[in-house]
């Protein structure tokens, strides 16, 4: 075999392989790009306990079982977990707990070209605490306002006279610590979910009786009010009163829910699309303070058998109430695609 023949064989093989690769690349270039998912409603949960289905449910499982059992996960760089979407344009994901984890995931998802959020509605969904003077275990609360608990000036109680405030706002932060959500959309959410039959339990009913407040002892219902967002898990009657003081200082509605993500996620959405289509729905799984017979530390670190009942029922209640809104928007999309319709509309 000549030297020329020895080198010609691998050269021909290389040319043939290159031709195949070029043909495949050309074929891929001729294929139309996959259009982004047109998102109609995006459901944001903050954590899941285990799997998305088949075990103890956290914030995401009941949503997943309703909308995404047959959906493949869509990986998103920068998001903590994949996004799921069904054929109706209902999408959702577990964003992570706290302001940083949740908002960074939301930012990555919003900016990902696999999705079109130009007409999307949002439900920020999760569990929360409630002051016993304003609500009870198992109830679900649509936010009218979102207030940031952490942004501002604070000082120690021993540096002022007893009973004086320990907080004042920091000037210039109004647009990122306070969101007044679209009242027309809140009214729609309440109307659509008000008739849902909420779950309850004997354990939750027994736990409520430890509190003397009438609101704490009532059966769960659908309510509205201000959600206060804090990376700090503030707890006890003093800090609860401070949160209520803050909401009044800002001109918001009564503080009814304490949670950890709402203002941060809303800020991310607001920068891209505004807040007119943002809803926040929280279910109360604990009171934000102990009963009169226990200290705040005892309530935070309870003895075995002393924890609040109703977690399983509450996470189901959230999806029961929220899905009424999701299903209505999707079913009546021609009326919702351009914006929130008048409440009198069908």
DSSP 310-346: -HHHHHHHHHHHHHHHHHHHHHTHHHHTTSPPPTT--
Taking all residues of the chain, what is their mean pLDDT, rounded to a whole number?
91
Q: Give the residue-averaged pLDDT of 297-304.
A: 90
pLDDT at 9: 52
Residues contacting residue 273 through CB under 8 Å, at least 6 positions apart: 110, 117, 118, 120
pLDDT at 316: 98
Is the pLDDT assigned to residue 246 strictly greater than 60? yes
Is the pLDDT assigned to residue 73 strictly greater than 90? yes
pLDDT at 32: 62
pLDDT at 284: 98
Is the pLDDT assigned to residue 1 strictly greater than 70? no
Distance between CA 312 and CA 203 in Å, rounded?
11
* The token pair that represents 56 in the structure block: 């103890």
Is the pLDDT assigned to residue 25 strictly greater than 50? no
The structural domains of the chain, ordered by start, are 37-335 (3.40.50.1580)
Is the pLDDT assigned to residue 119 strictly greater than 90? yes
- Please tell me the pTM assigned to this model: 0.89
Is the pLDDT assigned to residue 216 strictly greater than 50? yes
* Contact yes or no for 200/220 (Cβ under 8 A): yes
Residue whose C-alpha is closest to residue 209's, from 310, 295, 281, 127: 310
pLDDT at 202: 96
Reported confidence tier of residue 31, pLDDT bands at 50, 70, 90: low
Residues contacting residue 167 through CB under 8 Å, at least 6 positions apart: 152, 153, 154, 242, 245, 246
Reported confidence tier of residue 33, pLDDT bands at 50, 70, 90: confident
Share of the chain above pLDDT 90, in %: 81
pLDDT at 344: 76
pLDDT at 26: 43
Is the pLDDT assigned to residue 18 strictly greater than 70? no
pLDDT at 11: 44
Kindly report the three-state secondary structure assignment for every residue of 43-92.
EEECCCCCCCCCCCCCCCHHHHHHHCCCCCCECCCCCCCCEEECCCCEEE
Residue whose C-alpha is closest to residue 146's, from 110, 102, 93, 193: 102
pLDDT digits (tens, 9 = 90+) for 157-177: 999 999 888 998 877 766 678
pLDDT at 304: 85
Is the pLDDT assigned to residue 327 strictly greater than 70? yes
Is the pLDDT assigned to residue 4 strictly greater than 90? no
């Amino acid at each position: 075999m000549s030297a020329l023949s020895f080198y010609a064989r691998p050269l021909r093989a290389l040319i043939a392989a290159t031709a195949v690769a070029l043909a495949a690349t050309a074929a891929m270039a001729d294929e139309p790009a996959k259009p982004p998912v047109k998102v109609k409603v995006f459901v944001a949960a903050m954590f899941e306990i285990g799997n998305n289905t088949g075990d103890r449910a956290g914030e995401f499982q009941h949503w997943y079982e309703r909308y995404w059992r047959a959906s493949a996960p869509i990986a998103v760089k920068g998001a903590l977990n994949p996004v799921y979407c069904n054929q109706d344009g209902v999408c959702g994901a577990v964003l992570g707990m706290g302001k940083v984890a949740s908002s960074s995931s939301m930012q990555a998802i919003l900016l990902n070209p696999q999705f079109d959020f130009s007409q999307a509605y949002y439900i920020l969904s999760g569990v929360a605490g409630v002051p016993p003077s304003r609500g009870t275990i198992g109830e679900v609360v649509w936010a009218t306002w979102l207030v940031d608990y952490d942004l501002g000036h604070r000082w120690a109680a021993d540096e002022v006279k007893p009973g004086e405030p320990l907080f004042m706002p920091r000037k210039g932060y109004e647009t990122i610590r306070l969101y007044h959500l679209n009242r027309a959309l809140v009214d729609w959410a309440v109307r659509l979910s008000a008739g849902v039959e909420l779950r309850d339990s004997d354990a939750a009913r027994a736990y409520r009786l430890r509190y003397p407040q009438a609101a704490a002892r009532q059966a769960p219902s659908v309510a509205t009010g201000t959600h206060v967002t804090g990376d700090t898990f503030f707890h006890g009657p003093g800090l609860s009163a401070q949160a209520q003081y803050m909401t009044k200082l800002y001109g918001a509605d009564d503080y009814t829910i304490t949670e950890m993500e709402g203002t941060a996620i809303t800020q991310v959405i607001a920068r891209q699309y505004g807040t007119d289509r943002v809803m926040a729905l929280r279910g109360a799984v604990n009171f934000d303070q102990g009963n009169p017979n226990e200290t705040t530390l005892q309530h935070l670190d309870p003895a075995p058998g002393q924890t609040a009942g109703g977690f399983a029922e509450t996470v189901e209640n959230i999806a029961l109430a929220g899905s009424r809104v999701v299903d209505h928007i999707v079913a009546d999309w021609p009326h919702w695609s351009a914006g929130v319709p008048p409440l009198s509309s069908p």
